[in-house]
Structure 1
Amino acid sequence: MPKAIRIHEYGGPEAMSYEDVPTQEPGPGQIRVRQTAIGVNFIDVYFRKGAYKAASMPFTLGKEGAGEVAALGEGVTGFKVGERVAYAGAVGTYAEEVIVEASGTVRVPDGVSDETAAAMMLKGLTAQYLLRRTYRVQKGDTILFHAAAGGVGLIATQWAKHLGATVIGTVGSEEKAQLARDHGCDHVILYRDEDFAARVKEITKGEGVPVVYDGVGKDTFPASLDCLRPFGTFASFGSSSGPIDAFDIGILAQKGSLFATRPTLFTHIATRELLDANAAELFDVVKSGAVKIPIHSRARLADAAQVHRDLEARNTTGSTVMIP
C-alpha cells in the first residue's frame, strides 16, 4: 500500500502521522500520479493547525508536487501514462501517490527536473501573478518585497531583476540578507533591526515605491503602507507572522490614495487557459536561466514533522522538497 502523511486532528507537527493508505482510482477528469517530488509551503502549516479547514477528517496535507502519470480517469485528454506532470493546487500531495484534477495539472517540459517543478509550482506561480498581474513590474521600477529570502521571495527577486526593476528586500537575519543579495536584491533591510519604512524612503529619496509585496502580514503592517508613493499598491499575499488586523479603509486615503489587494494563487489558475499561460511564462524564465529555483533542503516524506518545525521556526530559505 502507498504511504501518506495523515492528519486525524488539527495541531502541531506531531499531529502528522505517516501511514498506509489504500490505492485510489482516478474518477472522471482525474489523474493518478506516482510522485517523485513534493513541494512544501507555508499554507500546509495553516491546514495542519486548522486555520484553514480541510473538507473532512482525516486528511492528507499538501498542495504541490510532481511525478509520473500512473492512471487516467474517464474523459481525460491531453495526458498519457508515463508523462511527467506537476501541479500547484492539488489536495493531499504529502503522499507517494496522489489523485489530481487534470484541469489543474501541467506537463513538465524537458529541461526542468521533477524536483525543480515540485519546488516551484506554487511559489513560482505566486511570483508570476504578483509581478505580472497584481502589479505589472516595469523596467525602471523600484519595488519592495518582504521576506526576500523566503521561497517566493528568492524567485520573485530574480524575476523582478530580469524585468529591469531595482529590488529592495526585507529579511530577518544577516545570513538571509546575503542570500537575498545573491538572488538579485539591490538593497537589503533587516526588518527586525531597522525601521524599514524609513530605509525605503531613504533609498527612494523620499519618493516611495509603487508596490509592496507582503507575505509576512502582522509584523510588517501598517508600516508597509508608509513605503508606498501616492497611488501605490499594497499586495498582501500571505501572513507568515500572523494575519493583518482589520483596519479602517480610510487609512488608504490618508496615506496617498493607495490601493490594497489580497490576491490568491487559486483565482489566477482557476481556468485551463490561465494555468497554461501562467505556467508557460514561469517555465520559460526558469528554462532560460533568468530565474533559478533554489532548493535548499531535501527531506524524506516520513520526516514531514521535522520539516514543519523548521518551516515554522523560519529556519528555512528557498524551497524545501520532500522525496517519497
Structure 2
Amino acid sequence: MNTTQANGIVRLTRQGPPSVLEYTTEQIGLPKPHEVLIRHEAIALNFVDVLFRNGSFPLRQLPTTIGVEAAGVIESVGSGVTGWTVGDRVGYYFSLGAYAQQRLIDPRQLVKLPDDITFDQTASLLAKGLTARMLVKQAYPVQAGDIVLVHAAAVGVGSLVSRWAKSLGATVIGTVGNEAKKAIVEPYRLDLVVALDKEDLAEKIHAFTNGRDVGAVFDGVGKATFSKSATLTKPGGTIVLYGSASGAPEIDSTLLNARQIKFLQPSLGQYLPDPESVNLSTAELFDAFQSGILGNVTPTIYPLSEVSKAHLDLEASRTTGSVIFRP
C-alpha cells in the first residue's frame, strides 16, 4: 500500500494512568474510496479522553488512538468522496482517533469551518460549544426570566452554558469549586456565584432569590452536587445532568416524583441526528462566539508529544479553560 510520510501519533496499548499514553511515529495509508486524510492543526483534550484512557469507558480493541475532537486541513480525498476538496478547513467533535498529526476519517464526521474561525478556536469550542447549545436551546430551552443554576461555571461546558443562558435573559447562579475561581467567572457577569468549598449553596441561593428555588439546574459534576440541586429545584422544575465529573450521583426518584421535577440526561447525538442539524448547530455556535456571547478563547497548549503530562495536569486541576495539543 502506498503511504505518506511518517505520522506522529499517540498509541494506547492498555488502559490505565497517563503513563500508558505512548507518543510514537507510524506510516499512514492513503484514503480509501470513502475517506479523507486530514492534517491536524489543533487537537482537543477533553475529560472524555481521560475516561477512555483510564478504563472508565471500554475500548473495542487495543492498541488504539484516543482523542475525539480536532481541527485541520484535508490533504487527500478518496475516490468516492464528493463535496470535499483538498485544502478544506474542517473540524470534528466526536470521532475516536484524534491524537495524531494526521488521520483518515469518514467525511460525514466533519464540519466545514468559516474563514474567520481559527483551528485553535475550533478545537477549543466545538464539542463543548455544541453541548452547551444543546443544553440551553434544546434540552431545557432557557427563557428570559428563568432562574437557572449552573454547576462548575468556571470551566468547560459549564462556563459556556453560564454565558449563553445569561445572554438569553436568564438569572444565572453559578457554582465554582473554591473562592479563587470566582475571579475566573467575573467577566461572565453572572447574577450570583457560590464557592462550594466555603459557602452554603442553599443559604446563598435563598438569600438572593428571597426564598425561591431555581427553575432549572445544569449539572456536569454529578455526585458532589446532584442531591443538593434536587432540593433547590422548584416543583415542576428541571434538572439536566450532562456529566458526572465527581462520579455518578445517587438519584432520589421519590423526591423528584414528589416535586414533579423533570430529570434529563441528554446526549449530543440525540439532538444532532443528521448533517443538517449538525450544520445548523455549528453555524449558530460560531455566530454566538463571533458575537462575543461565549467570551474569548485562550487555550492552554501542549505539544502532542507531552500528552501524558497534559493528562496529569488535567486530572490534578492544574489547567484552566480549554486545553489543546499542537501536533
TM-score, normalised relative to structure 2: 0.94
Structure 1 residue 81 corresponds to structure 2 residue 86 = yes
Mean Cα deviation higher: 199-208 or 223-232: 199-208
Q: Percent identity?
A: 37
**CA drift at 1:142:** 1.9
Structure 1 residue 238 corresponds to structure 2 residue 234 = no
Match of 2:22 in 1: 17
In structure 1, runs of 5+ residues without a counterpart are: none
Match of 2:256 in 1: 252
CA deviations on 1:175-204 (whole Å, 9 max, x unpaired) are 311111222322111112222133223322
Structure 1 residue 196 corresponds to structure 2 residue 201 = yes
Correspondence 1:45-194 to 2 at 5 A: 45-194=50-199
Mean Cα deviation higher: 171-180 or 59-68: 171-180
Give distance in 2, aligned partners of 1:180 and 1:208: 22
Mean Cα deviation higher: 194-203 or 220-229: 194-203
Match of 1:32 in 2: 37
Q: How many residues align?
A: 322
Structure 1 residue 312 corresponds to structure 2 residue 315 = yes
Q: 1:211 to 1:26 in 2, by over 3 A?
A: farther
Give distance in 2, aligned partners of 1:235 and 1:313: 26
CA deviations on 1:156-176 (whole Å, 9 max, x unpaired) are 222222212221111112231
* RMSD of aligned alpha carbons: 1.5
Mean Cα deviation higher: 33-42 or 193-202: 193-202
Give distance in 2, aligned partners of 1:177 and 1:86: 32
Correspondence 1:228-307 to 2 at 5 A: 228-245=233-250, 247-254=251-258, 256-307=259-310
Q: Tell me the SS of whatever aligns to 2:27.
A: coil
Contact between 1:90 and 1:101, CA under 8 Å: does it hold in 2? no
Contact between 1:103 and 1:271, CA under 8 Å: does it hold in 2? no
Q: Tell me the SS of whatever aligns to 1:22.
A: strand
**CA drift at 1:59:** 1.1
CA deviations on 1:88-129 (whole Å, 9 max, x unpaired) are 011111110122221221111021111000110111111010
Q: Which amino acid is 1:272 matched to?
A: P
TM-score, normalised relative to structure 1: 0.95
Q: Tell me the SS of whatever aligns to 2:29.
A: coil
**CA drift at 1:229:** 1.1
Structure 1 residue 208 corresponds to structure 2 residue 213 = yes
Contact between 1:104 and 1:275, CA under 8 Å: does it hold in 2? no
Contact between 2:120 and 2:299, CA under 8 Å: does it hold in 1? no
CA deviations on 1:137-171 (whole Å, 9 max, x unpaired) are 11222211110011112222222222122211111
Q: Which amino acid is 1:277 matched to?
A: L
Q: Which has the larger radius of gyration?
A: 2
**CA drift at 1:249:** 2.1
